[in-house]
Amino acid sequence: MVRASAVVALVGLLAAPAAPGVAQPDFSGEWTLTTATSNRVRGGGSGEQPVRQFVMDFHAFNCGRECRIVHKGSTLTVERAQLKDGATAPSPTVVIVIDGKSHTVVDSFTQGNTIEAVARWQDGTLVITSMAGRLALTQTVSLEQDQLVVVRSGLTAPDAKFTLRYTKKARGR
């Protein structure tokens, strides 16, 4: 774990601070999964293809099929994430501190485990680096055309992408 913490600390030191004047989006709201796609689907196919997976193992940020996000200042809290079909209870609450430093967060997917993660802003996009042993796993979280977009990059190959798109629920539903 010491080696993983050292790698996360190094990632944090290399993180560029948020550019002045770039607006940081507010991710607050209740979100429902719209699409899950990947550019690396078994059996071939080019471009983004639909996939059934909607959880990112070993990653700090997981919304699953739906979740509630409370975004206040440098804290992003993911609540009531539905990570498994037929689950009778939501996953644990995950609090991510956005300051470019390493923090321990609850592993919402594997009960009782934690993940070391560094979260920082880069050009209006939230970049989260989670450690799985010595492997650094990167996610980006952004708002695009009123959709919450979460992208996991480079897990199986440098150009591999797994993308989840969420729509904000209307208030009062």
pLDDT digits (tens, 9 = 90+) for 27-69: 999 999 999 988 875 555 567 777 877 777 788 999 989 999 9
In a domain, 173, yes or no: no
| CA pair distance 120, 70, nearest whole angstrom | 17
Q: Which residues contact 154 (CB under 8 A, 6 or more apart)?
A: 138, 160
pLDDT band at 10 (very low <50, low <70, confident <90, very high): very low
- Domain with 65 in it: what CATH number? 2.40.128.20
pLDDT tops 60 at residue 76: yes
In a domain, 120, yes or no: yes
User: What's the mean pLDDT when you consider all of the chain?
Assistant: 82
Domain count across the chain:
1
In a domain, 82, yes or no: yes
The pLDDT value given to residue 167:
97
In a domain, 154, yes or no: yes
List the domain range (segments joined by +) for residue 83: 2-17+25-168
In a domain, 119, yes or no: yes
- Whole-number percent of the chain with pLDDT over 70: 78
Q: How far apart are the first and last CA of the chain?
A: 43
Contact 142, 25 (CB under 8 A): yes
Question: Which position has the higher pLDDT, 121 or 161?
Answer: 121
pTM score: 0.81
Please write the tens of the pLDDT for every residue from 91-101. 899 999 999 99
Contact 27, 143 (CB under 8 A): yes
The pLDDT value given to residue 5:
46
